[in-house]
DNA sequence: TTTGACTGCCC
DNA sequence: ATTCTGC
DNA sequence: GCAGAATGGGCAGTCAAA
């Protein structure tokens, strides 16, 4: 194994040695493992970016074909998100393989797991005692990636064994740190403090400093993107002397480190912008390796049929906060429906040609197969408007009652089949609530203000209610504009609270300026631009999500008793996480588990919890000695019940594992909580004063009671007998005995 | 053939 | 999804 | 304020075991 350099150096000081391997020889996986291992030694963002930048520079300089597999391994993916290639293995298969290769018992591995809280660390320790007799050729970055692909592509009977054997071969060949990161990669949880954003930042910096060795003809290259030798040397000298003496005052414009920073910033912005509009490392790596940073955005453009990262909203806790943040700028308040985010692409390659449709999820998975009814709807829109050539819309797909369009729950939408769905087999009807238009007839609209995008959406893609009741509908989200006055907005919010939507999305209509948050006390307040453009991948302040769940006194709040816990993973390895929580059932005097909870605890609270319920103390047992009912939830340890916590959730759900309130709503299923999180300790309550099953059942019924018609389409047609009976059946499934 | 463990992905 | 933490 | 990490309920789909 070669001796690897110190990776955390400032990139101007780090020397890329092109002879570290034979020129153009594939790069050993041990190099990547070395880099990943170095990453885990620091939490400094600067150091992390240095390590990643230097790693990618070495790859660009010595073996550009290794760039793409390296990007996949670093980002814990195998393919672009919209091409679903999944490993299909997890704890069970990998643990079996580790067991087989290390020869350790399953109990010994469990002990290691409890101690380290990381499967990679378990494998590392397990294998550290194993002496391999036969020397193995070194693993290569490319060969590791190819093995992963092989695992992912295995299909059908007998594949579990096949996958396990590939994993075992990898583990046998892996040495030292390679074992740790190989296993973390197989678990798709690298935990090195760097995910997509850092990788893209480092890729940009690496490109600025290192022209890939694959670009031989530099005459066609615009070198202004890059830092030349002289600049790098100048910054290096500054960096080397900086620590010793005082930095000499230089004009900003000629300060070499400023010039380099600016080149970095420009390349980072470019690569990030390109990636979020066209999230495909393969296309980006190819363009970079062949043509460098030149015209990257033109080589890898936003493309109909390839998803872009959606804009996200910032959580907001009250209407007051909304007005505080947007001041007097015009906004639209929209219903936030409880369904599934969907980015829908529709296009014709020629005016007579067939219509192509793709439907992508919030995380850019291709779910076209799940919604043939929506595909049909889109195709009909093209038929209805022969002028239409292409579009990308942002929508929420919501389950509806096919008879009248009433909204149904998220849980009902979840019941839809996902693969190879045939039109004739659809059981859950949907409405597509469109709220944004990103692309129309070959024009990218991201830079247009929301008011304009929305106007185009409304005129070019009008609502559709097909004749057949089970067909997908198209509608626009219901909204009220700030121009209608605060009272109208309050009223609209009230309507949202009382109906089956999650709350409101408040969106800036025109680009403007707002007061910057007074982050440091002495800085005087400044105006900061707030664009109303579509910002892929950003949690923007121009979109505020106001969920009733966030607003104090509106969400569902329960007082529950902690009755057990699990050993935490990763950074929570020394604490109990998650914690099992229970209702108090006065009729039996027993505590009944409702849900697990891991959100809302501060580190300080975790520490005190671990002290109070210390392993081996009288408050903590491996057996269920306090006789609590946990249903399908089996914690590692049981707590002596003694306190009450306020727990908040967004909804009450019918649960396949919970036995809380069993028999009150359904004969066979209990109730649980969606998005549970810890609010505070109820010092004033003892465990007999915790919430009871009747209370939880009442909350569930309250939710079900909200059946007002809330969407905008009016529809008084006759009922379709078939769909009606099906709808009632599915409702019976959910809300009553089964 | 049915059941159940496991995985991936919605929120 | 939600939430907390370090930079 | 960003970036990262650690996890929630619950569904369909896949494959192995019963």
Output the distance from A103 CA to D11 C1' rounded to whole Å: 37
Q: Residues A4, A156: contact at Cβ < 8 Å?
A: no
Cα separation, A247 vs A245, whole angstroms: 6
A591 in a structural domain:
yes
Answer yes or no: is A348 within a domain. yes
Q: Pick out residues whose CB falls under 7 Å from strand B.
A: A 84, 86-94, 188, 338-341, 361-363, 365, 367, 410, 414, 674-675
At A735 the pLDDT is 39
Together in a domain, A568 and A679: yes
The separation, in Å, between residue A418 CA and nucleotide B8 C1' comes to 12
Residue A164 CA distance to nucleotide B7 C1' (Å): 15
At residue A719, the pLDDT reads 27
Is the shortest CB-to-strand distance from A189 to strand D under 7 Å?
A: yes
Q: Which range marks the domain in which residue A124 is found?
A: 91-186
Nearest nucleotide to the CA of A674, by C1', is D9
For residue A338, give the nucleotide whose C1' atom is nearest its CA: B11
- Which residue did the predictor score with more confidence, A99 or A351? A99
- Domain contains A213: yes
A324 and A428 share one domain: yes
* A668-692 tens-digit pLDDT: 999 999 999 999 999 999 999 999 9
Residue A431 and residue A332 in one domain:
yes
Nearest to A406 by CA among A100, A713, A658, A724: A713
Look up residue A407 and give its two tokens.
């909204």
Q: Is the CB of A655 under 7 A from strand D?
A: yes
Find and give the residue nearest to B5, measured CA to C1'.
A92
Name the closest nucleotide to A187, judged by C1' and CA.
B7
Once rounded to an integer, what is the mean pLDDT over residues A472-485?
Answer: 98
Dihedrals phi, psi of A644, to nearest 5 degrees = -125, 135
Which bases of strand B have any atom within 7 Å of the beta carbon of a protein residue? 5-11
Residue A712: the pLDDT is 37
DSSP A464: B
Of A151, A186, A221, the domain-final residue: A186
Does the pLDDT value for residue A330 go beyond 70? yes
pLDDT per residue over A611-661, tens digit each?
999 999 999 999 999 999 999 999 999 999 999 999 999 999 999 999 999
- For the CA of A366 and the C1' of B9, the distance in angstroms is 11
pLDDT at A69 over 90: yes
Question: What's the token pair of residue A377?
Answer: 């709807």
C-alpha–C-alpha distance, residues A573 and A309, integer Å: 33
In degrees to the nearest 10, what's the CA dihedral of A271, A272, A277, A280?
A: 70
pLDDT above 90: percentage of residues in chain A? 85
Question: Whole-number Å distance, CA A317 to C1' C2?
Answer: 14
Element at A452 (helix H, strand E): helix A450-460
Average the pLDDT over A20-30 and give the result.
90
pLDDT at A521: 54
Determine the pLDDT at residue A24: 82
Number of structural domains (chain A) is 4
pLDDT of residue A525: 73
Structural tokens at position A308 = 């872009």
A13 CA → B11 C1’, Å? 46
Residues A353 and A437 in one domain: yes
pLDDT value at A31 more than 90: yes
Identify nearest nucleotide to residue A81 by CA to C1′ distance.
Answer: B9
Same domain assignment for residues A365 and A493: yes
- Local confidence band at A724 (pLDDT 50, 70, 90 cut-offs): very low
Annotation marks residue A336 as catalytic: yes
Q: Which nucleotides of C are covered by protein (CB under 7 A)?
A: 1-7
Nucleotide nearest to A653 (CA to C1'): D9
Within-domain flag for A511: no
What pLDDT does residue A131 have? 81
Q: Is the CB of A194 under 7 A from strand D?
A: yes
φ, ψ of residue A596 to 5 degrees: the values are -95, 160
Same domain, residue pair A397 and A458: yes
Q: Which nucleotides of D are covered by protein (CB under 7 A)?
A: 1-16
CATH of the domain at A18: 1.10.3260.10
Same domain, A281 and A382: no
Out of A127, A236, A336, A538, pick the active-site residue: A336
One domain for residues A570 and A471: no
pLDDT (0 to 100) of residue A723: 36
Nearest residue to D1 via alpha carbon and C1': A519
For residue A716, give the 3-state DSSP assignment: coil
The reply to whether A196 Cβ lies less than 7 angstroms from strand D is yes
> What is the nearest nucleotide to A364, using C1' and CA?
B9
A384 and A324 co-located in one domain: yes
Decide if pLDDT at A478 tops 50: yes
Residue A504 included in any domain: no
DSSP β-ladder status, A479-481 and A331-337: antiparallel
Domain membership flag for residue A505: no
Q: Is residue A577 part of a domain?
A: yes
Whether nucleic acid strand D comes within 7 Å of the CB of A47, the answer is no
Whether residue A66 is predicted with pLDDT greater than 70 in this model: the reply is yes
Long-range contacts of A419-424 (CB under 8 A, 24+ apart): A419/A369, A419/A370, A420/A369, A421/A369, A421/A370, A421/A371, A421/A372, A422/A372, A423/A372, A423/A373, A423/A376
**Percent of chain A scored above 70 by pLDDT?**
93
Strand A576-585 relative to strand A590-597, pairing: antiparallel
A672 touches strand D (CB under 7 A): yes
Asked whether residue A77, judged by its CB, lies under 7 Å from any atom of the DNA or RNA strand D, the reply is no
Report the CATH number at residue A584: 2.40.50.140
Is the bond preceding residue A578 a cis peptide, omega within 30 degrees?
yes
Give yes or no for CB of A634 within 7 Å of strand D.
no
Residue A514 parent element (H or E) = strand A512-515
A485, pLDDT greater than 80: yes
Write down the mean pLDDT value for chain A: 92
Predicted confidence band at A134 (pLDDT cuts at 50, 70, 90)? confident
Give one DSSP letter per residue of A165-213, joined into a string: HHHHHHHHH--THHHHHHHHHHTT---SS--HHHHHHHHHHHHHH---T
CA pair distance A369, A359, nearest whole angstrom: 8
Which segment of A138-152, A274-288, A502-516, A694-708 scores lowest on mean pLDDT?
A: A694-708
Q: Which nucleotide is nearest to A361 (CA to C1')?
A: B10
A303: phi then psi, degrees, rounded to nearest 5: -135, 130
CA distance to A217, A252, A267, A282, A422, per residue, from A229 (Å)? 18, 20, 18, 29, 61
**For residue range A514-573, what is the model confidence (pLDDT) as tens digits?**
987 655 555 667 889 999 999 999 999 999 999 999 998 777 799 999 999 999 999 999
Distance A650 CA to B5 C1' (A): 29
A673 CB and strand D closer than 7 A: yes
User: What is the distance in angstroms measured between the alpha-carbon CA of A258 and the sugar C1' of C1?
Assistant: 41
Angle, vertex CA A471, rays to CA A469 and CA A475, nearest 5? 100
- Same domain for A3 and A96, yes or no, is no
Q: What is the pLDDT of residue A219?
A: 83
Average pLDDT of the segment spanning A574-585: 98
Q: Which DSSP symbol is given to A338?
A: S
Degrees to nearest 5, angle at CA A581 with A578 and A587: 165
Find, among A85, A204, A55, the residue nearest to A152 by Cα.
A85
Tokens for A326, please give them. 């947007």
CB of A197 within 7 Å of some strand D atom: yes
pLDDT digits (tens, 9 = 90+) for A353-411: 899 999 999 999 999 999 999 999 999 999 999 999 999 999 999 999 999 999 999 99
Lowest mean pLDDT among A248-262, A376-390, A474-488, A531-545: A248-262
Residue at a domain's end among A498, A521, A549: A498
Give the nucleotide with minimal C1' distance to the Cα of A85.
B8
Residue whose C-alpha is closest to residue A706's, from A556, A497, A554: A497
Distance A554 CA to D12 C1' (A): 32
Model confidence at A248, pLDDT cuts 50, 70, 90, reads low
Whether the predicted pLDDT of A720 surpasses 80: no
Distance A505 CA to C3 C1' (A): 21
Q: Is residue A207 part of a domain?
A: yes
Q: Which residues touch strand C (CB under 7 A)?
A: A 43-46, 312, 315, 362, 547, 549-550, 599-604, 648, 650, 675, 677
Co-location of A288 and A380 in the same domain = no
Tokens describing residue A324: 């505080």
In contact, A461 and A434? CB cutoff 8 Å:
yes
A578-CA/D7-C1' distance, Å:
7
Q: Are residues A199 and A325 in the same domain?
A: no
A462 touches strand D (CB under 7 A): no
* Rounded average pLDDT over A41-55: 98
Q: DSSP labels for A361-411?
A: -TT--B-GGG-HHHHHHHHHHHHH-TT--EEEEEEEEEEB-TTT--B--HH
Nearest nucleotide (CA of A160 to C1'): D15
């Amino acid at each position: 194994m070669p001796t690897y350099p110190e990776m955390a150096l400032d990139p101007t000081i780090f020397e890329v040695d092109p002879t570290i391997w034979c020129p153009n020889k594939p790069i050993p996986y041990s190099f990547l493992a070395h880099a990943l291992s170095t990453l885990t030694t620091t939490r400094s963002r600067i150091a992390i970016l240095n390590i990643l930048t230097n790693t990618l520079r070495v790859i660009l300089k010595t073996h550009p074909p290794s760039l793409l597999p390296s990007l996949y391994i670093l980002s814990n993916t195998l393919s672009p998100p919209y091409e679903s290639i999944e490993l299909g293995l997890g704890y069970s298969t990998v643990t079996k393989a580790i067991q087989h290769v290390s020869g350790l018992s399953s109990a010994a591995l469990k002990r290691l797991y409890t101690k380290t809280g990381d499967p990679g660390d378990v494998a590392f320790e397990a294998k550290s005692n194993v002496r391999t007799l036969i020397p193995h050729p070194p693993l290569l970055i490319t060969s590791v990636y190819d093995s992963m692909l092989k695992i992912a592509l295995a299909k059908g009977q007998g594949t579990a064994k096949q996958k396990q054997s590939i994993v075992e071969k990898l583990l046998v060949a892996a040495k030292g740190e390679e074992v740790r990161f190989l296993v973390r990669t197989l678990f798709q949880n690298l935990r090195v403090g760097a995910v997509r954003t850092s990788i893209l930042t480092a890729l940009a910096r690496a490109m600025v400093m290192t022209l890939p060795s694959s670009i031989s003809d530099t005459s066609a290259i615009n070198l202004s993107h890059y830092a030349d030798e002289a600049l790098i040397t100048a910054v290096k000298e500054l960096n080397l002397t900086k620590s010793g003496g005082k930095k000499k005052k230089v004009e900003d414009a000629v300060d070499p480190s400023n010039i380099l920073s600016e080149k970095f910033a420009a390349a980072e912005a470019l690569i990030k912008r390109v990636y979020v509009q066209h999230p495909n490392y393969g296309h980006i790596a190819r363009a970079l390796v062949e043509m460098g940073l030149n015209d990257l955005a033109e080589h890898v453009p936003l493309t109909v049929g390839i998803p872009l990262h959606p804009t996200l909203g910032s959580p907001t806790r009250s209407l007051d906060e909304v007005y505080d943040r947007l001041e007097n700028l015009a906004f639209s308040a929209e219903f936030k429906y409880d369904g599934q985010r969907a980015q829908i692409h529709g296009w014709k390659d020629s005016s007579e040609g067939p219509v192509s449709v793709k439907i992508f999820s919030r995380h850019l998975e291709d779910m076209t197969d799940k919604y043939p009814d929506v595909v049909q709807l889109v195709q009909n829109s093209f038929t209805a408007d022969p002028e239409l050539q292409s579009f990308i819309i942002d929508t929420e797909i919501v389950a509806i009652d096919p008879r009248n369009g009433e909204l149904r729950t998220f849980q009902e939408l979840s019941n839809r089949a996902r693969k190879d769905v045939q039109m004739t087999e659809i059981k859950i009807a949907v409405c597509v609530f469109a709220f944004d238009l990103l692309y129309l007839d070959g024009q990218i609209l991201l830079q247009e203000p929301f008011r304009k995008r929305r106007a185009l959406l409304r005129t070019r893609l009008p609502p559709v209610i097909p004749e057949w009741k089970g067909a997908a509908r198209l509608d626009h989200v219901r909204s009220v504009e700030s121009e209608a006055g605060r009272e109208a907005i309050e009223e609209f919010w009230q309507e949202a609270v009382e109906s089956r939507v999650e709350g409101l999305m408040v969106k800036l209509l025109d680009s403007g300026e707002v007061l910057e948050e007074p982050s440091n006390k002495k800085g005087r307040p400044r105006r900061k631009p707030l664009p109303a453009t579509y910002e892929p991948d950003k949690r923007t302040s121009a979109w505020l999500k106001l969920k009733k769940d966030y607003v104090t006194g509106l969400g569902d709040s329960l007082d529950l008793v902690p009755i057990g816990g699990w050993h935490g993973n990763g950074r929570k390895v020394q604490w109990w996480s998650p914690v099992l929580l229970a209702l108090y059932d006065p009729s039996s005097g027993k505590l009944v588990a409702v849900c697990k909870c891991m959100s809302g605890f501060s580190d300080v609270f975790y520490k005190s919890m671990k002290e109070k319920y210390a392993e081996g103390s009288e408050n903590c047992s491996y057996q269920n000695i306090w006789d609590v009912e946990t249903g399908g939830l089996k914690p590692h340890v049981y707590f002596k019940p003694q306190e009450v916590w306020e727990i908040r959730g967004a909804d009450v759900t019918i649960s396949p594992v919970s036995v809380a309130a069993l028999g009150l709503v359904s004969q066979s299923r209990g109730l649980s909580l969606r998005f549970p999180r810890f609010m505070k300790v109820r010092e004033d309550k003892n465990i007999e004063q915790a919430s009871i099953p009747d209370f939880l059942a009442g909350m569930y019924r309250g939710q079900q009671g909200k059946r007002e018609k809330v969407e905008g389409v009016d529809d008084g047609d006759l009922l379709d007998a078939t769909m009606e009976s099906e709808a009632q059946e599915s409702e019976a499934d959910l809300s009553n005995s089964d």
